[in-house]
Structure 1
Amino acid sequence: MPISETWLLPDGVADVLPEQAQVIETLRRDALDFLASRGYQLVYTPFIEYIESLSSLSESNQDLDLATFKVIDQISGRLLGVRADITPQVARIDAHVNPVEGVARYCYAGTVLHTKPQGFNTTRAPLQLGAELFGSDSIDADVELIDVMINLLEQAGLAEGIHLDLGHVGLFRSMVKQAGLSKEIEGLLSDLYQRKALPELAEFTQSLKFGADFYTLGRYASDLDALQTHLSAEIFANVAFKQTFAALKTTQNQIQNRWPNLHIGIDVVELRSYHYHTGLMYAVYAPNRAAPLAQGGRYDGIGQHFGRARPATGFSCDLYALSAGQFTDLNVVVAPKGVDTDLLKAISNARTQGFSVIQLLGNDSLSSIPHATHELVNVAGEWKVEKI
């Protein structure tokens, strides 16, 4: 390869330069400190594992399986996977490494790797930050995670004008079960809902049992009151459907009470990762951004693959996406070379005040530090920081 090409990076990955790296690192530290204050314990997980460990989600989420890089371990000869999501690793910790009784709360921040970008203009190596709660199947747990997520975004200065989307896979799932639909029909319906293809949905549902109700579910997906009015009494007589509907309304009301100025939207046919999620699903969007700032939901039984099925709910976000377009001004002070006691004390004081201080080396001069913003100068026997 010519030298002129050796510095090029693969598509979908990029270097992060100092001005943005400082923003990202501040976000990471502040977020983890905030999560710790809410009782979420920090864990670090390995970048690569045996593929069997990472498949706890892959079995139910084909998208995640396709996003996972797979390589052969040169030591054992077994197949390894580079993590595309940290959630299954935390589930492994909860099931075997740290199997506490009762509720367990974990948080994490680390790079994951995707075989292809997961959205328009997104990186293949997101810096994923998230929180997971194991051991509670109550609405309170879901409300807590949503509240933590919104608080985290507010702390990062990203809460202005945000929109929260709420959904629940249980409504569609209970109707499918009641109608006795095949997996093939279920998949076709899910696709129509995802594409918001109402004309196609109207035609497709004509021959289905409860066809009018399946159409109604898509037609009034964003209005729970209208949905309740137009669905048949037989659907609402289903215990599972009724309980799911009530849980979604309760969650909406509790979040609205905590965040009265938050715009909350409902979409009961938002079925992303449908086979992975088992209950409530949520995502936060900001104006002029197509991708969500953060998203999550309930995925009960995730630890079953490891022999310990537990209720679980959580959310995650990409710190690179949260920091997009943000930059910080770096204040760099250049100090002259020397070992004079007063000079060294002045350098120490400047660092205590929050400056980044670089002392010149050898024959260096001020011009050798092109990103310098200040210099340490001796004025009448007193060292002072002055702007360049």
Structure 2
Amino acid sequence: MGNWLLPESLADILPAEARRIEELRRELLDLYRTYGYELVAPPLVEYIDSLLSGTGTDLNLRTCKLIDQLSGRTLGVRADMTPQVSRIDAHLLNRPGVTRLCYCGTVLHAKPVDLLSSRELLQIGAEIYGHAGVEADLEIIRLVLETVRIAGVVRPRLDLCHPGVVRAIVDADPAAQPHIETIMGLLREKDIPGLDDLARRPNGPSAHTVNALRTLTTLYGDSSELARARRELPALPGIERALDSLDALLSYLPDLPVSIDLGDVGGYGYHSGVTFALYAEGWHNALVTGGRYDNVSRAFGRARPATGFSLDLRRLAAGLAPAERASAVRAPWGQDAALAQAVRELRQGGDIVIQTLPGHEHDQDEFIFDRELAQQDGAWTVRKI
């Protein structure tokens, strides 16, 4: 094994790709600022009890852990920046009204999500704190759509869900609650035979509960699935509230391709309201995920309504067209003061100027020399090549 080999599911980012990712990062953070989102930068590592507060078990399994040599306490390398941003809003900023925050940074997963995923992500996202109404959810979704539009994603499709539906079904049956992790796993795989087997276990969920869960696995499609859910699911207040929330949000999105998937339980235990996932041709799974998570900041001593989204900039860039080489000005190497001044002025104006070292005039892969700085009539001027 060579010293140059990297661990599994980790990779270097080479110049052209790194440039495209960085340009996209800057453009998106500038976009979020025009909406009033303030940039924060939490640390890469935190104490594990703070990092995982209110997040459920999934994030715990994705988090790499180590021992702090100074305190002896367990640290975690962040696998998701959203809990950190929630801590900043609830504990450090402590503002009474609406707060909009955005962020971008590296996160590390203990294991890749699937065979095609990396363990190192460049996560970018935005969050709204302090408003419980549909207006905040709508603003976040509109910001998601503007994000992928700027990136060049065409024909995005939005999947909506609400964990309150499955939560209401399980909470209504005391016999189902000890089996919640098993139920979530079966729903995640849409394993109907597994649900039937669960109903036959001693002290398992009631047949009425299992029938409702089986129905959930089929409630996928266009907005008409909400009407079918009202007809076929139990008449529970929690279900009615969840379906009302989805209907309210859909009324503001009449021209957007939207699907409903009430059997999606990916955010169960973390999300508290409407959740969404954005899909697009060229990416094998959800490109952007988000939704409402009002309960997370309670762990930091101040419960706040919250909704937001995040995505992996590296994966977003990987599905776009290859980055084009940038145009540059070629300049000779030299100590002439007038040459140095001409190079400085071009760079201050935003031009890429490369002074070629002796014997390496044509050793550029990343740039295209379409102009050159040459001396003419005693002055340094730019001319086309």
Q: Same fold (TM over 0.5)?
A: yes
* Deviation at residue 370 of structure 1 after TM alignment: 5.7
Asked if 1:329 corresponds to 2:338, the answer is: no
Asked if 1:291 corresponds to 2:285, the answer is: yes
**Distance in 2 between residues matched to 1:333 and 1:95, nearest whole Å:** 50
**Distance in 2 between residues matched to 1:333 and 1:7, nearest whole Å:** 34
2:212 matched residue in structure 1 = 213
For normalisation by structure 1, the TM-score amounts to 0.88
Deviations 1:72-105 (A, max 9, x none): 1111221111111111111111121111111111
- Going by fraction, where is helix more abundant, 1 or 2? 1
Uncovered stretches (5+) of structure 1, i.e. residues with no partner? none
Q: Give the alignment of 1:103-252 within 5 angstroms.
A: 103-158=98-153, 160-201=154-195, 207-222=206-221, 223-231=225-233, 235-236=234-235, 238-252=236-250
Matched position secondary structure for 1:327: coil
* Deviation at residue 157 of structure 1 after TM alignment: 1.2
**Distance in 2 between residues matched to 1:70 and 1:211, nearest whole Å:** 37
- Label 1:339 to 1:41 Cα distance change in 2 as closer, same or farther (>3 A): same
Asked if 1:270 corresponds to 2:269, the answer is: no
RMSD: 2.3
More deviation, 191-200/291-300: 191-200
1:35 matched residue in structure 2 = 32
Matched position secondary structure for 1:366: coil
- Label 1:69 to 1:221 Cα distance change in 2 as closer, same or farther (>3 A): same
**Distance in 2 between residues matched to 1:268 and 1:350, nearest whole Å:** 57
Matched position secondary structure for 1:193: helix
Matched position secondary structure for 2:71: coil
**Distance in 2 between residues matched to 1:164 and 1:371, nearest whole Å:** 36
* Deviation at residue 350 of structure 1 after TM alignment: 4.1
Asked if 1:312 corresponds to 2:333, the answer is: no
Deviations 1:39-65 (A, max 9, x none): 11100111111112102144x2x1211
1:89 matched residue in structure 2 = 84
Q: Contact 2:325–2:368 (CA<8 Å) still a contact in 1?
A: no
Q: Contact 1:285–1:293 (CA<8 Å) still a contact in 2?
A: yes
2:347 matched residue in structure 1 = 351
**Distance in 1 between residues matched to 2:195 and 2:278, nearest whole Å:** 27
Please tell me the residue identity of whatever aligns with 2:242.
T
**Distance in 2 between residues matched to 1:200 and 1:74, nearest whole Å:** 46
Match of 2:18 among 14, 18, 21: 21
- Label 1:221 to 1:360 Cα distance change in 2 as closer, same or farther (>3 A): closer
Asked if 1:254 corresponds to 2:252, the answer is: yes
Matched position secondary structure for 1:179: coil
Q: Contact 2:63–2:78 (CA<8 Å) still a contact in 1?
A: yes
Q: Percent same amino acid among aligned pairs? A: 38
Please tell me the residue identity of whatever aligns with 2:31.
F
Please tell me the residue identity of whatever aligns with 1:373.
I
* Deviation at residue 341 of structure 1 after TM alignment: 5.3
Q: Contact 1:221–1:227 (CA<8 Å) still a contact in 2?
A: no
More deviation, 140-149/203-212: 203-212
Q: Contact 1:285–1:291 (CA<8 Å) still a contact in 2?
A: yes
Please tell me the residue identity of whatever aligns with 1:177.
D
**Distance in 2 between residues matched to 1:370 and 1:313, nearest whole Å:** 43
Uncovered stretches (5+) of structure 2, i.e. residues with no partner? 201-205
Q: Contact 2:218–2:263 (CA<8 Å) still a contact in 1?
A: no
**Distance in 1 between residues matched to 2:366 and 2:262, nearest whole Å:** 52
Deviations 1:125-175 (A, max 9, x none): 1000011111122121111111111111111111x1111000000011112
Deviations 1:177-214 (A, max 9, x none): 22334334333332232212345546756852344333
* Deviation at residue 379 of structure 1 after TM alignment: 7.2
**Distance in 2 between residues matched to 1:192 and 1:50, nearest whole Å:** 32
**Distance in 1 between residues matched to 2:314 and 2:32, nearest whole Å:** 18
- Label 1:306 to 1:373 Cα distance change in 2 as closer, same or farther (>3 A): same
Please tell me the residue identity of whatever aligns with 1:21.
A
Question: Post-superposition, which runs of at least 4 consecutive aligned residues in structure 1 deviate over 6 A?
Answer: none
How many residue pairs get aligned? The number is 372
**Distance in 1 between residues matched to 2:297 and 2:194, nearest whole Å:** 38
* Deviation at residue 30 of structure 1 after TM alignment: 0.8
For normalisation by structure 2, the TM-score amounts to 0.89
Q: Contact 1:198–1:219 (CA<8 Å) still a contact in 2?
A: no
Please tell me the residue identity of whatever aligns with 1:51.
I
- Label 1:345 to 1:90 Cα distance change in 2 as closer, same or farther (>3 A): same
More deviation, 4-13/196-205: 196-205
Q: Contact 1:193–1:269 (CA<8 Å) still a contact in 2?
A: yes
Matched position secondary structure for 2:53: helix
Q: Contact 1:276–1:299 (CA<8 Å) still a contact in 2?
A: yes
